Every structure is written in C-alpha cells, then in structure tokens.
Amino acid sequence: MAKVVLVNPQIPPNTGNIARSCAATGTELHLVGPLGFEISDRYLKRAGLDYWPYVKLHNHPSWSEFLALHKQIGGRLIGFTTSGKNSYLKIQFQPDDWLLFGSETTGLPPDILAICTETVYIPMSEPGVRSLNLSVSVAAGLFEARRQLGYLD
C-alpha cells in the first residue's frame, strides 16, 4: 500500500485533514520535520477529529532519519510538485510507493526532488492558480494510487 509523506508541513489543519484521509484509507502517514507546529496542536487535532487512533502515524525529526527508514523498506519516491515531469494520472503507481508532498509555502526542496524516482504534477486548467491546497493534493494523489492498485473496489 502506498504511503503518504509530508515534508516540513506548516499548517496544522491541512495535516489534520490529511491524517483523516489516511485514517479512512488505512494509509501510513509519515511526517518529516521540522514541522511548523507541535503534534499536540489543537488545530491539528481538531481537523483530524476523533480519528487519530486510526492514523498509522510516523514522525521523523529530519529528512535524513526518514531516508534511513526508506532505505530499509525500499520503494519509489514519487514527488508531487507543480514542476513535475508527468501528470500523476499518467504514471503507474506501485504498492510500495511513497507519495511525497512538500510544505504549503515552498513545496518539496530541489535536493529532495532530485532523488525522487518520479516527479508528478496535478493538472489544473487555470494558469493563474499556482497550486492546490495541500490536503486536496494529497487526497487526489492518494485516491488515484488506490484506484490504480484496486483498493477502491
């Protein structure tokens, strides 16, 4: 099952909403620090409602600590970015993929994008809109991966 990775998330309600989506789908959620909030933040908890016991949450204080885990487990790193090479609808997701999303303000840093197996974007019709909300982007990517892998049946 693909896993969701948030690198340096900054806005507690976004992370809470993403945690709720992960809880509903049984998807692991990996938070990579530094975070722009405390895990105990009331806005984070409020957005996740009472679903936190169902979240398979993993907290990594740094990118290097996350990478150590990734090396042990394996799988492709799929970086979601407005400058991605392919539409997320054009790649074939695999069960061991890690879906990487950057912070709401800066996205994924260039050094992380450089080591991604794939970089993908979510197509948008209006060129004046720079990006989607982080929780919307995660939901789109996660549910497309789940659709392709047969988890929506």
Interhelix angle 134-148/12-25, rounded to 10 degrees, is 20
CA dist 111 and 109 (Å) reads: 6
Which residue positions form the known binding site for S-adenosyl-L-methionine?
A: 102, 122, 131
Asked if 117 and 77 count as a contact pair (C-beta separation under 8 A), the reply is yes
Structure tokens at 88: 């997320």
CA dist 113 and 106 (Å) reads: 12
Asked if 19 and 57 count as a contact pair (C-beta separation under 8 A), the reply is yes
Which residue positions form the known binding site?
A: 102, 122, 131
